Chains A and B, each alone.
Chain A
Amino acid sequence: DQQVKQNSPSLSVQEGRISILNCDYTNSMFDYFLWYKKYPAEGPTFLISISSIKDKNEDGRFTVFLNKSAKHLSLHIVPSQPGDSAVYFCAARPGGYNAGNNRKLIWGLGTSLAVNP
């Protein structure tokens, strides 16, 4: 059962426009969410994160929004650049004392973003 879902396998946007990548989750006990970017044949690179007690976190061109009632988060990239073309993974961490033995990150399947010049 996929606890973290990225329902769009791919997304294509024009350079300079906004990219919106979506992530849905089913476990209300997740307390921390992260976005990673991955280029081919490289390891993922941390991009931005958000705690479940917040609804927005911004870092330069990247903003993550969290809607806890809808169990939905989104990553906005404005303006999009060709170098942003990569696979973006959403990951979530199960919350503290109720998480059992393993607080490993739960990953979505990724969304491949293509930013066209």
Chain B
Amino acid sequence: DTEVTQTPKHLVMGMTNKKSLKCEQHMGHRAMYWYKQKAKKPPELMFVYSYEKLSINESVPSRFSPECPNSSLLNLHLHALQPEDSALYLCASSLLYLRWVEINEKLFFGSGTQLSVL
């Protein structure tokens, strides 16, 4: 199983809604990532979890709240989003992420959740 599975594939929400994005992998990877991608732009890193602990938060607004319940699951809780938050949200995993160690971090991406905030 070399897949990263994301649900839902599409999500439309109002600015007062609370919703969650889910991500799952069963490759034994110990690093999981949330990326945001707008049209015609590269993926933009939001969060990195390493061994189920938050390792990097790229100054993401608190209306985005990540959670890593176990080594296979990653959630992104959304609350009070703005229309400019509409984007493709991508989950990725890699074998490891260690800040100071040479690792060839090949990322496996899910298909993403296309989010529209009205």
Picked from A42, A43, A93, A97, the residue with its CB within 8 Å of the CB of B92 is A43
B-side residues, CB < 8 A to A, are 4, 6, 40-43, 45, 48, 56, 58, 88, 90-92, 99-102, 104-112, 114
Picked from A43, A46, A104, the residue with its CB within 8 Å of the CB of B45 is A104
Residues of B contacting A96 in the complex (Cβ-Cβ under 8 angstroms): 100-102
Residues of B contacting A104 in the complex (Cβ-Cβ under 8 angstroms): 45, 48, 56, 58
With A102-B56, A104-B56 known to touch, is A45 a contact of B109 (CB < 8 Å)? yes
In Å, the complex CA distance between A115 and B41 comes to 21
A-side residues, CB < 8 A to B, are 31-32, 34, 36, 41-46, 49, 51, 89, 91, 93, 96-97, 99, 101-105, 107-110
Q: Does the CB pair B112–A43 fall under 8 Å? A: yes
Whose C-beta in chain A lies nearest to the C-beta of B90?
Answer: A43
In Å, the complex CA distance between A49 and B104 comes to 9
Q: Does the CB pair A42–B106 fall under 8 Å? A: no
Whose C-beta in chain A lies nearest to the C-beta of B10?
Answer: A41
Q: Does the CB pair B102–A34 fall under 8 Å? A: no
Q: Does the CB pair B100–A46 fall under 8 Å? A: no
Q: Does the CB pair A108–B109 fall under 8 Å? A: no
With A43-B90, A107-B43, A110-B42 known to touch, is A49 a contact of B106 (CB < 8 Å)? yes
Q: Does the CB pair A41–B109 fall under 8 Å? A: no
